[in-house]
Structure formats: structure tokens, C-alpha cells
Structure 1
């Protein structure tokens, strides 16, 4: 940084844990630590409260009705897409595709890319991938005759 100053960032783990009600739970006498977020992420209080609010007051199909509740749901859905598009610096909100979770998203990507994969093409994944990001590529390899390559991880956790 200019002038010899530096910015120190502090990640307050306890402040983040406080946002997740389930992390107050103890298992075997110890605080819950949940690491399977690729399969099912735990929800912070803000998300839980938003879900309850929608379920109690305005739940309806998105893009499937002309009544007030459907219009409210559609507007909220598209507003969220616009916010995420800005955050990701997407050219348009339509470039943001909602899925139920990471596994579905990875499967969509693999199946989309899979249309152009040919026998002998190489698919590279890292040794640190979650199971949900390995299976679709294995299946694609089997269907198309591609080669699966593994990028190794160094002792410090970086990619080789």
C-alpha cells in the first residue's frame, strides 16, 4: 500500500458462528462444526427469517401467475438476480442461473460442457474437490471417452 500503510483484515469466527443458530448445537459435548456445505449448507438467521417471512406472507410461484402474490415473488426473484449479477460483475442479470445448490449447478455445467467434449479430450480437476465435483466429470469421461487428469495439491494447500 502507498505510504507504507497496510490493511489488516480480521476474520471473527465467533461472530460468523453466532449468525448460524444450528452452530449453537453441541454434539458429543463439543460445538458443532459443519463442513459438508457442498451437499447442504447451514443457514444464517437472516436467511431463516427471510424464508419464514416469505412462507407466511407472500409465497407463490415465480413467473407462473398474474396475481399479486406471484407478481411479488417474481419481482423479488428478479431483484435478487440483479443484485447477484452486479456482485459478480455479470454483463446482464440473465447470466445468473439459479439452482437448488452446488451439486445441481456443477451437473448443469458438466452436461453443458459435455456437449462439446470428444474422445481423448482432457478434463482437469484438483485432488481437493468435493465428491459432488468429481462424479459429474467421471460420468462425462465414461460417456464421451475423455481423459480425467488430477491437479495435485502441495503440502501448503496450493495447487501444483
Structure 2
């Protein structure tokens, strides 16, 4: 895979581009029932509407984090880790890399939403300093679950 590589602990974190779309789609469809289309990934990456960090392990893409940056604000759009590679610190490594990038870019605030039943993700975000600031009712199209909104001063 072509990319800027950064080793975070034992995790190889790279920046992904349009050449990684097929791997991203395969990983996302393994992680989530409701997922982005190839066109959404392509247009978003080409237009720089969002960016994606990935984690390679054992020669394959096993985790990714999609995020957007508008002015001094970052929003986590998606964070997924292959089920066979969960609970190995990959999600945390991706988030830490993103937060370091945000500090370097002088981003002031981070935002995200998470399904109310995704307790592992909530624990991760709260361990990084995110705090719950609101709820969006029936937000997720696949489950109609509420989204818990989180915010972080970076």
C-alpha cells in the first residue's frame, strides 16, 4: 500500500487514498451492516470532504478511521476494526494518531457520534477525554438507535 506510514506502538497507521477504496469497502462491510458506497468513498476522498487513516496488520487493512476537518473543527465520521482484530488497541491507535494530527494543525475541537449500545466505543472515546453533550433520536438508519454526541477540546 502506498502511504505515509507512522508506527503507533505495534500498529502501522497509514493515510489512505482512492487507491485503497476496494480494501476500505471490504473492511467496512465486514464491520458494519450499513456502509458507504464505493462512489461515496471515491468522491469524498477526491474532493477532500474527508480523510481516512488505516491500520495494516499481517499485510491487510484491519482498521480505519474516516474524519473531516472544517476550519478548526474535526469530526470522526467512521471508526471500524475488523472483528478478528478487535481488542488489540487498533481503534485507540487510530484515534491517538488523529488527535496528534489535529494538535499539529491547531484544530480546536473534536466531535463524534456513537450508537448508544456501542459500549466499547463509548469507553474508548471517554478514555480519550471526549464528553457526552447530547443525543440524536433514532439517528442510525440500520438500527434506529439514538446517537450519543461527544465533544472534545483538543
Is the shorter-chain TM-score for this pair beyond 0.5, marking a shared fold? no
More strand by share: 2
More helix by share: 1
- TM-score, reference length from structure 1: 0.30
Higher RCO (C-alpha 8 Å, min separation 6): 2
The structure whose Rg is larger is 1
- TM-score, reference length from structure 2: 0.31
